[in-house]
Amino acid sequence: MSVAQARRALIGTASAPYRRSGRFAWHFARAKLRRDPVFTALFEQGWIPNRARLLDLGCGQGLLAAWLLSATQVWDQGAWPAMWPAPPSSVRVRGIELMPADVRRAQAALGAKAQIEYADIREAGFGKADVVVILDVLHYMDYAAQDSVLMRVRAALEPSGVLLLRVGNAAAGLPFCISCWIDRAVTVARGHRPGRLYCRSLTDWRSVLERLGFNVEGHPMSAGTPFANVLLVCRLSGTATVNRSELNHGGHGGHGGRQIPI
């Protein structure tokens, strides 16, 4: 089975349950899964282990959970690409989402196959997790809230756990500006009022995460898009203790800083 054939099978399988959530949810799922490179990368790179407790912060309508569930079906059908590692099995997904409509769509599509909760990640309890995923979420909250969420993610992760954090690189020039324009347009199209975006350069993101005790790998995650997105794969490097004053000491670069090589 080729990668292209496998992707078509995965997209069809993962999006099918959203027919129960309405035409918008189904069309959005198909478009997002087809165009966003992060979903394929998760399987190509094998970042999610078997039997992981996965916490998806800002999970939207639960597409990551649907994608992982579809992998089991495609694998069982023998339609998995030979060049990919086996998909993660028995992953338990807990998603937290602030938008009630997205929560309803996720719950209607996934039922008991994933735990989707309506809550604000700035306040919700995280429990313990082996994998935490945050895709294109933190820039909607101010810098102090970003720091707080990341500190609590660090506390929630098991020592061998991983944080998969996708961010826009505020030092990337025009591609970053395009990302912001489209972000605002999509926000309006989904019936929400766009607010200020709190963005950082990759240098600043790396600095914040390293002060929290993470080793950080950057993976470009904009293939096929005009954006400036990077997936930061963050693993705990030790037992460093970080308080808020230490975290804030490095400042917030906003649109400043240089672009680091990745």
Mean pLDDT of 231-254: 63
Question: Per the structure block, which two tokens stand in for 122?
Answer: 């700035």
Model pLDDT for residues 136-167, shown as the tens digit of each residue:
999 999 999 999 999 999 999 999 999 999 99
Model pLDDT, residue 257:
34
Does the structure show a pLDDT above 80 at 253?
Answer: no
Rounded CA gap, 8 and 205, in Å? 34
Helix (H) or strand (E) segment spanning residue 118? strand 115-118
Does the structure show a pLDDT above 90 at 237?
Answer: no
**pLDDT class of 252 with cuts at 50, 70, 90:** very low
Q: Which of 45-49, 245-249, 251-255 has the highest mean pLDDT?
A: 45-49
Does the structure show a pLDDT above 70 at 249?
Answer: no
Boundaries of every domain in the chain: 3-248
């020592």: which residue's tokens? 159
Mean of the per-residue pLDDT values of the chain: 87
**pLDDT class of 211 with cuts at 50, 70, 90:** very high
Model pLDDT, residue 251:
45
Does the structure show a pLDDT above 70 at 246?
Answer: no
**pLDDT class of 185 with cuts at 50, 70, 90:** low
CA atoms within 13 A on the CB side of 82: 2
**pLDDT class of 243 with cuts at 50, 70, 90:** low
Does the structure show a pLDDT above 90 at 205?
Answer: yes
Model pLDDT for residues 90-106, shown as the tens digit of each residue:
999 999 999 999 999 99
Which pTM was predicted? 0.87
- The sheet with strand 157-168 has its strands ordered as 115-118, 92-97, 53-57, 129-135, 157-168, 229-236, 214-220
Does the structure show a pLDDT above 90 at 7?
Answer: yes
Do residues 161 and 168 make contact, with C-beta atoms less than 8 angstroms apart?
Answer: no
Q: Does domain 3-248 have CATH number 3.40.50.10490?
A: no
Residue among 161, 178, 170, 158 at smallest CA distance from 208: 170
Do residues 167 and 138 make contact, with C-beta atoms less than 8 angstroms apart?
Answer: yes
**pLDDT class of 197 with cuts at 50, 70, 90:** confident
Model pLDDT, residue 152:
98
Please, what is the Cα angle at 186 between 153 and 219, to 5 degrees?
45
Does the structure show a pLDDT above 70 at 83?
Answer: yes
Share of the chain above pLDDT 90, in %: 74
Model pLDDT, residue 223:
76
Model pLDDT for residues 45-82, shown as the tens digit of each residue:
999 999 999 999 999 999 999 999 999 999 999 999 99
Model pLDDT, residue 227:
75
Q: What is the DSSP letter of 141?
A: S
Model pLDDT, residue 177:
66
Does the structure show a pLDDT above 50 at 109?
Answer: yes
